[in-house]
């Protein structure tokens, strides 16, 4: 059930991050903004299809306390999505 809820909220056409927003989001994430880190994860996972960067930002978002990041990590673990981080 969690997988279905998780996936419906993250379709690539629903990720509202553009490439030009990345530097600002990266700066905010480096300053401790968990939501910015999570949005970077979404961009790399569902728009850029860069699994390595997605895993990096998901881990950072979780470290910064983003609730959605914990749910995404649980989903990745449950469905054995490979992560280098």
pTM recorded for the entire structure: 0.75
Quick one: pLDDT band at residue 21, thresholds 50, 70, 90?
very high
Domain count, the chain: 1
Q: How many CB atoms lie within 10 A of CB 38?
A: 23
Tens-place pLDDT, residues 42-75:
999 999 999 999 999 999 999 999 999 988 887 7
When pLDDT is averaged across residues 13-20 and rounded to a whole number, the result is 83
Q: Look at residue 41 in the predicted model and tell me its pLDDT.
A: 95
Handedness of CA 29, 81, 9, 12 (dihedral sign): positive
Whether 16 is covered by a domain: the verdict is: no
Q: What is the pLDDT of residue 8?
A: 36
Q: Is 42 inside a domain boundary? A: yes
**Residue 82 belongs to a domain:** yes
Is residue 68, in this structure, part of any structural domain at all? Answer: yes
| 69 belongs to a structural domain | yes
State yes or no: pLDDT of 84 exceeds 70: no
Q: Where are the alpha helices (DSSP H) in 1-85?
A: 2-8, 22-30, 34-46, 51-63, 67-78
Residue 42 structural domain: 29-85
Residue range 25-45, pLDDT digits in tens: 999 999 999 999 999 999 999
Query: Is residue 1 in some structural domain?
Result: no
């Amino acid at each position: 059930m969690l997988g279905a809820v998780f996936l419906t909220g993250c379709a690539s056409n629903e990720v509202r991050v553009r490439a030009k927003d990345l530097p600002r989001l990266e700066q905010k994430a480096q300053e401790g903004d968990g939501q910015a880190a999570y949005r970077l994860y979404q961009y790399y996972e569902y728009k850029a299809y860069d699994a390595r960067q997605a895993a990096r930002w998901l881990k950072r978002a979780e470290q910064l306390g983003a609730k959605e990041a914990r749910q995404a990590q649980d989903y990745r673990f449950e469905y054995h999505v490979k992560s280098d981080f």
